[in-house]
Amino acid sequence: MIKYQTLTSYSQIGFEIWTMQNDILFDNIYIGHSVSDAEKLAQDTFDVKKAVEKAQEEADKPKKDETDKPKASSDLSFMDDPVTYAKQKVNLFAAIAQRDPIEAIKFVPEVAAGIAIGFVTLLFVLLGLFTGGAAAAPSKEQVKASAQQAKAKANETKDQVAEAVASGTEKVKAEANKRNTRSS
């Protein structure tokens, strides 16, 4: 970035750089009074060097092509190619499961877990289809019958409470009479 700054009567220039990186180079520094000279120096040095450095950076960047694809399933990561990764895992699981299903579950547990989750989901879907989804709503007669049962139970409880209160009151009166007769 080119910055032009005009110095007045001062004759000092200072650079203060804070960085944790090594090998930082500074070039194309112009000290003078002429803006046209600074622009000419920038065209002769900075603009040319910038294009060359950008081309070098592009050349040094690693290229991703078909030869860089992993050769084995253990070399492939999910983030590189998720579909190929999943296919290779399922194929590996199937090949091992033909010989020993327990070993396949131990070696590729993610595929076994996916199969188990799929199976459980299928069971729940089938169960929902055969049972009609949610439970059927009760009929009007069933609602009336349960309401009458609840009302009868409430009346029975009310009678029991009234009887308990009445017998409790009689007991309290009897106790009071006993006390009165003893103190006299």
C-alpha–C-alpha distance, residues 153 and 28, integer Å = 99
Q: How many helices (H) and strands (E) does the chain have?
A: 6, 0
Residue 2, C-beta contacts closer than 8 angstroms, at least 6 positions apart = 38, 42, 46
HSE, CB side, 13 Å, CA atoms: give it for residue 139: 3
* Contact predicate 155/162, CB 8 Å: no
- Please state the domain extents for the chain: 1-61, 72-131, 140-184
* pLDDT (0 to 100) of residue 77: 76
**Which tokens sit at 50?**
């910038």
Quick one: pLDDT at residue 5?
56
Mean pLDDT of 27-53: 85
Q: Report pLDDT digits (tens) over 75-113.
A: 667 777 888 888 888 998 899 989 888 888 888 888 888
Contact 64, 80 (CB under 8 A): no
pLDDT at 172: 65
Measured CA to CA, the distance from residue 30 to residue 7 in angstroms comes to: 13
Whether residue 138 has pLDDT greater than 90? no
pTM (2 decimals)?
A: 0.34
| Helical spans, DSSP H, in 17-108 | 35-41, 47-60, 82-99, 101-107
Instruction: Specify the pLDDT at position 70.
Output: 47
Residue 179, pLDDT above cutoff 90 = no
Cβ(17)–Cβ(3) below 8 Å: no
* Residues of the chain above pLDDT 70, percent: 76
pLDDT for the residue numbered 10: 58
Confidence of residue 137 (pLDDT cuts 50, 70, 90): low
What amino acid is encoded at 100 in this protein? D
pLDDT for 27 equals: 77
